[in-house]
């Protein structure tokens, strides 16, 4: 999580603190930031760039899978029934 979002979250927490306690604002803000960074670093999160990159990889993989499925369907259709169909055909899967 980037520093801007952590700072924004810390600011929102400070706004929720009663006015009488706000005299300790700088100290609380520093502590909130430290606690948030420590807790968030323990989460298994990815940044947006990594997520977007993996989403693009998944899109390409899906497109390739669809193309291979269409190709397999065409081969099964033109083989005259020579290729086994389905998982219960008894034939070893083609890898």
- Sorted by where each begins, the domain ranges of the chain are 3-42, 46-75
User: Which residues, 6+ apart, have CB-to-CB distance to 3 below 8 Å?
Assistant: none
Give the DSSP letter of residue 47. -
Question: Tokens in use for 20?
Answer: 């009488």
* Residue 43: CA count within 13 A, CB half-sphere: 10
Q: Record the pTM.
A: 0.44
pLDDT tens for 25-84 read 778 788 888 888 888 888 888 888 999 999 999 999 999 999 999 999 999 888 655 555
């Amino acid at each position: 999580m980037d520093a801007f979002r952590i700072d924004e979250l810390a600011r929102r927490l400070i706004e929720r603190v009663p006015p009488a306690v706000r005299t300790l604002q700088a100290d609380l803000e520093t502590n909130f930031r430290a606690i948030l960074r420590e807790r968030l670093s323990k989460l298994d999160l990815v940044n947006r760039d990594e997520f977007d990159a993996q989403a693009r990889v998944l899109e390409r993989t899906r497109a390739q899978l669809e193309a291979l499925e269409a190709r397999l369907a065409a081969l099964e259709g033109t083989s005259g029934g020579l290729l086994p169909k389905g998982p219960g055909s008894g034939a070893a899967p083609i890898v």
